[in-house]
Amino acid sequence: MDPVQTEDVTDILGDVCTQSPYAYFDALRSHEPVHWNARHRAWLITSHAAVSEGLRNPKLLSNRMKKLRESLAPDKQATVGRTLRLLEDWMVFQDNPDHKRVRSVVQKAFTPQVVLRLEDDIRALAREQVALLRRRLQQEPGKPIDLLNEIAYEIPGPIICKMLGVPPEDRYQFIAWTEEVSSVIGGFADDPERYEKTHAAVTSLEAYLTTVIAQDRGGEGNLMAQLVAAEADGERLSRSEVIASGILLLFAGNRTTSCMIANGVRALASHPEQVALLRADPTRINAAVEEILRWESHTKATVRIVGEDFEWHGQQLRAGQRVFLSPLSANRDPAMFEDPARFDIGRPNAQRHIAFGTGVHLCLGMSLARLELRIFFAEMLDTLPHLQLVDPDGQWLSSIVSRVQRELWITARSS
């Protein structure tokens, strides 16, 4: 394969952010798995081995908000700086020792038992949404439905709100605030207006969650109240860390899983033979979910900052440089997965994907996400053969962080 030239990369990165990252990542991976992108002044890491190593390397730091905050003009420190300061308390943007301390406390409240208690609620919501989908497909077979925005968002959102003690009717407002916050997370947002909006959203979220904690609406202690009470190794969280953890859980627990539901429906609807295999043996649901997570991973890249100069895969990384590590590319690495572009629910090692990351920041909510995906797709088994994708190559979100189509339009398959 031809080496990827740096001057080509600048243009192709635009495509990575939108339509088709795979060809570009394939080329980089085979040529230079640790690659410097001159225009965006960032490293792109693409092989399974290098992404896994990088996510475990303590020289690659997660706290990029501090660097951003310190680079702000003095007049922005009071507003934008305060927002970034709050984001610094998100465990996903922390390094040790703070990360270990915060994660241990949150883990005490976010236990497997807490997740399992949600199973009936998840099933009820999935059934309701699948029944609604079927009804609409039957009543108006030719009318497209946006599965991402009309169906997928209606499952993880209410579940995480229930965990946190947020009443379901408030969740749209709550989610709108978190969407504002997401705009600064990719690290490409230089627009001051965006930061102003983010600041307003974070302030509203802080006020809202403070009330949730005070009211403990869950009765037997919602997750927010438990975060206040939880202690690990004698450590508790500060009020700001409790609020930040609540916002992070809502943010991480809603969007990512909804996107994976949509990516999974797209994968299955375009592979009817795999749907037939799954319907013939529904015990393969866990394997199917792992293959969905591998084949069309939501997380295109996670971001790190180089903490100190070091050499890696023949490249010299310098302190302060940005590093994009791509689970999506790692999960299509032929060195790990045979014929990686093939979607195959019988793949023996699909679970070796790193769609949930790896290392100290391994996704804290992966057991909840897996449960939601397994239940949703199990409930969808009889519906999947009747679905038709309206535009399988429709617009993808313009982002180097998330892989999802802006909308996933489906109709009833004409038989």
Task: Name the minimum Å distance from CB 54 to ligand HEM.
Answer: 10
Residue 209 found at the interface with ligand HEM (CB under 6 A)? no
The correct pick among 4, 13, 45, 248 for binding ligand HEM (CB under 6 A) is 248
- Binding window for ligand HEM (CB under 6 A); candidates: 118-126, 139-147, 281-289, 357-365: 357-365
Q: Taking CB under 6 A as the rule, does residue 187 contact ligand HEM?
A: no
Nearer to ligand HEM by Cβ, of 98 and 196: the residue is 98
Binding mask 75-104 for ligand HEM (x = CB under 6 A): ----------------xx----------x-
Rounded to the nearest whole angstrom, what is the least distance from the CB of residue 236 to ligand HEM in the complex?
18
- Which residue in 68, 86, 148, 160 binds ligand HEM (CB under 6 A)? 160
Per CB under 6 A, does 340 bind ligand HEM? no
408 vs 158: CA distance, rounded Å: 20
Assign 3-class secondary structure to the chain.
CCCCCHHHHHHHHHHHHCCCHHHHHHHHHHHCCEEEECCCCEEEECCHHHHHHHHHCCCEECCCHHHHHHCCCHHHCCCHHHHHHHHCCCHHHCCCCHHHHHHHHHHHHCCHHHHHCCHHHHHHHHHHHHHHHHHHHHHCCCCCEEHHHHHHHHCHHHHHHHHHCCCHHHHHHHHHHHHHHHCCCCCCCCCHHHHHHHHHHHHHHHHHHHHHHHHCCCCCCCHHHHHHHCCECCECCCHHHHHHHHHHHHHHHHHHHHHHHHHHHHHHHCCHHHHHHHHHCHHHHHHHHHHHHHHCCCECCEEEEECCCEEECCEEECCCCEEEECHHHHCCCCCCCCCCCCCCCCCCCHHHCCCCCCHHHCCCCHHHHHHHHHHHHHHCCCCHHHEEECCCCCCECCCCCECCECCCEEEECCC
Among residues 151, 278, 363, 412, which is the contact residue for ligand HEM, using CB under 6 A? 363
Q: Contacts with ligand HEM: how many residues (CB under 6 A)?
A: 26
- Interaxial angle between packed helices 21-31 and 6-17, expressed in degrees from 0 to 180 and rounded to the nearest 10: 140
> Which of residues 4 and 212 has its CB atom nearest to ligand HEM in the complex?
212
Interface segment toward ligand HEM; rule CB under 6 A; list 143-151, 189-197, 231-239, 354-362: 354-362
Identify residues 37-66 at the interface with ligand HEM (CB under 6 A). 55, 62
Closest to ligand HEM by CB, 168 or 272: 168
Residue 257 binds ligand HEM (CB under 6 A): yes
Contact with ligand HEM (CB under 6 A) among 81, 246, 253, 340:
253
User: Which of 368, 380, 389, 401 lies at the binding interface for ligand HEM (CB under 6 A)?
Assistant: 368
Q: Which of 252, 301, 336, 375 binds ligand HEM (CB under 6 A)?
A: 252
Q: Does the protein bind ligand HEM through residue 264 (CB under 6 A)?
A: no
- 178 contacts ligand HEM (rule: CB under 6 A): no
305 makes contact with ligand HEM (CB under 6 A): no
State the minimum distance, in angstroms, from the CB of residue 193 to ligand HEM: 26
Measured in degrees and rounded to the nearest 5, phi and psi for residue 326 equal: -105, 100
**Range 167-170, long-range pairs (CB < 8 A, 24+ positions):** 167/217, 170/208
Residue of the chain from 275, 369, 389, 412 that contacts ligand HEM (CB under 6 A): 369
Among 4, 118, 243, 260, binds ligand HEM (CB under 6 A): 260
- Tokens coding 309: 């100069």
Interacting residues toward ligand HEM by CB under 6 A: 55, 62, 91-92, 103, 160, 248-249, 252-253, 256-257, 260, 298-299, 302, 327, 355-357, 361, 363-365, 368-369
